[in-house]
Chain A
Amino acid sequence: MPKIKLNLITGRTIQQGVAMEGGKEKPAYTTACGIIELDPEDFKKLGAYRNTNVRVTSEYGSVVVKAVDATQGPHPGLGWIPMGPWANMVVNPNTYSTGMPTFKGTPVEVEVAKGEPVWDSLTLVTKACRGEI
């Protein structure tokens, strides 16, 4: 299976905002934020269909999210995970002594994750804290 290297950025989307206010324990929040937006070019390189689960791995961690088409592209080489617990499994926590983790600009590898689920936010964080993922 091919792995592709991307520069990962995170941030707000209106779906993230609405789903967050709607309840982070609800499926809608997972649908809005448990995703990675990929450029069509990168989908080709990955050799994957839209809406397949992928594993995103960085020096700092790993998480399974659903790969979807970039809504605010084109941005080949850039991966986008809306801000939230899924993104925060892999972002660069280095603050450079400013207090601010480096949420934008984390080198990641993306690969297809066959049969692996996308956990809802509460389960994801709980499992991660228990060291179960």
Chain B
Amino acid sequence: MAKMVTDVICPFCGTLCDDLEVSVSDDGTKILDVYNACAIGAEKFLHSQAKDRVTRPRMKQEDGSWKEVSYDEAVEYAAKMLADSRKPLMYGWSSTNCEAQAAGTELGEIVGAVMDNTATVCHGTTLIAVQDVGVPSCTLGEILNRADRIVFWGCNPAHAHPRHMSRYSIFPRGFFTGKGAKGRKMVVVDPRVTDTAKTADIHLQIEQGRDFELLTAFRVAFKGEWLPDFVAGIPKKTIYEVADTMKSGRFGILFFGMGVTQSLSKNHNIDQAICVTRDLNEYTKWNIMPMRGHYNVTGSGQVWGWLHGFPYALDLSRGFARYNPGDTTSNDLLVRDEVDAVFVIGSDPGAHFPNRSVKKIWDLPSVCMDPHLTPTTAVCKLHVPVAFVGVETGGCAYRMDNVPIECRKVVDPPEGMLTDLEFLERVVARVKEMKGA
């Protein structure tokens, strides 16, 4: 016998699917199976059950070996590291809930930290662009119900957001979109013939790194102005045709991903994509949306937004919040030797930062909170395993369209394990004691 938990939220990607069903053993300790999830989401739930899971903190020894320590010792090390630091980097925050993010921010205020989230290597340049030109957008349900023109630019949902096209953007039938996929024109812009591109009506195989030029060309084409014969490897005839396709829709949406945020021009690519969307609102209705990666990277940007006014890269070291990507962003800080301690939670810079930055973490006092073994836990001095948010504890998470959803607890964490929030609250309390506050 098993009981079924319904309306479960998937804590993997920014699509934040909330229709999963998980069958759990009667005693509520074991996950037996996961329904409605994509391959990645299902794996996340099932792996939480791994037999070889680390359930107690580990401290790296001189000889590189690891020694199990108590949560108390872990709290003490983390608190002391932060309290002694003149400029700690507190990085990650994307795979945890908003309550932990808020508690962590209070910790950052007390110790005068730089707070940065995974947007810094994902959609940070999108946030810069939004600050420069804004962003006309909408919730995913609007696309489900209204959209008849869909552009995926530099993103590959078939792989990165596996249920996006079936739940929201391409296949479903909504209020004004009774024909489903048949009623929608799908355009993909990507230098590779991705599995997403293979399902598109039109694929523009752009020359890598020339998105800014092609986006500009579309704005020129909307106005019917002159274009060179080829832009970014795309013939001008095609550009004029696709421009007309965009204009002719009733409701269009441009989704974009790391293909533009991480390629040359970065924020300018997004900036111009947003301007393309602005222009299209002179002719019909268009919106644009970033395909956010981590399931709650959006949430950390919101929490920091309401507490300190910036979505990432906040420097709290001087007792007030400052912000300037290029200066207060993780990779610049690490490479420029601007920080003297690193605290990582809910992310894996060891795997996803350029090695030059990872080496710097290796050289510094460092703590990593993560349920898994990762390259980051391998380079940090202290590894604090925690319960899986969205599996073993609930809490708020923000979908890629900023819609907040309450995650569900499905099973208990292993005996005696702490959640992110519990560990952070204990560190806050200890730091306050040390600072005599």
Contacts and interface: CB of A to CB of B under 8 A. Distances in A.
Chain A–chain B contact at Cβ < 8 A: yes
A75 B50 contact: no
A105 B332 contact: no
B97 interface: no
Interface in A45-100: 60-61, 70, 72-75, 78, 80, 83-85, 88-89, 91-93, 95-100
Which 7 residue pairs across A and B have the least CB separation, nearest first? A99-B329, A97-B326, A93-B354, A129-B362, A99-B325, A17-B40, A125-B375
A72 B194 contact: yes
Given A75-B191, A129-B379, A17 B326 contact: no
A61 B162 CA distance: 32
B375 A11 contact: no
B156 A12 contact: yes
Interface of A: 7, 9, 11-14, 17-18, 20-25, 60-61, 70, 72-75, 78, 80, 83-85, 88-89, 91-93, 95-105, 121-122, 124-126, 128-129
Contact of A18 (B39, B125, B331, B353): B39
B393 interface: no
B263 interface: yes
23 contacts: A21-B12, A21-B47, A25-B374, A80-B192, A85-B350, A85-B355, A85-B358, A85-B375, A88-B358, A91-B354, A97-B326, A98-B267, A98-B326, A99-B326, A100-B120, A100-B124, A102-B262, A102-B264, A104-B208, A105-B209, A121-B374, A128-B359, A129-B362
Interface in B150-166: 156, 158-160, 162
Nearest to B157: A12
A133 to B, nearest CB: 10
B278 interface: no
Nearest to B158: A14
Contacts of B335: 93
Interface of B: 12-13, 38-40, 43-44, 47, 50, 64, 120-121, 124-125, 128, 156, 158-160, 162, 191-195, 197, 208-209, 258-259, 261-264, 266-267, 293, 313, 325-332, 335, 348, 350-359, 362, 372-375, 378-379
A12 B352 CA distance: 11
A17 B195 CA distance: 15
Nearest to B353: A88
Nearest to B48: A21
Contacts of B50: 23
Contacts of A22: 43, 47
Contacts of B354: 60, 88, 91-93, 101
A85 B351 contact: yes
B169 to A, nearest CB: 17
Contact of B193 (A11, A72, A98): A72
B313 A99 contact: yes
Contact of A14 (B159, B258, B327): B159
A60 B258 CA distance: 21
B387 to A, nearest CB: 16
Given A88-B355, A97-B326, A104-B263, A14 B39 contact: yes
B156 A11 contact: yes
Contact of A101 (B158, B162, B350, B353): B353
A12 B162 CA distance: 11
B332 A99 contact: yes
Contacts of A13: 159
Nearest to A80: B192
Contacts of B208: 7, 9, 78, 104-105
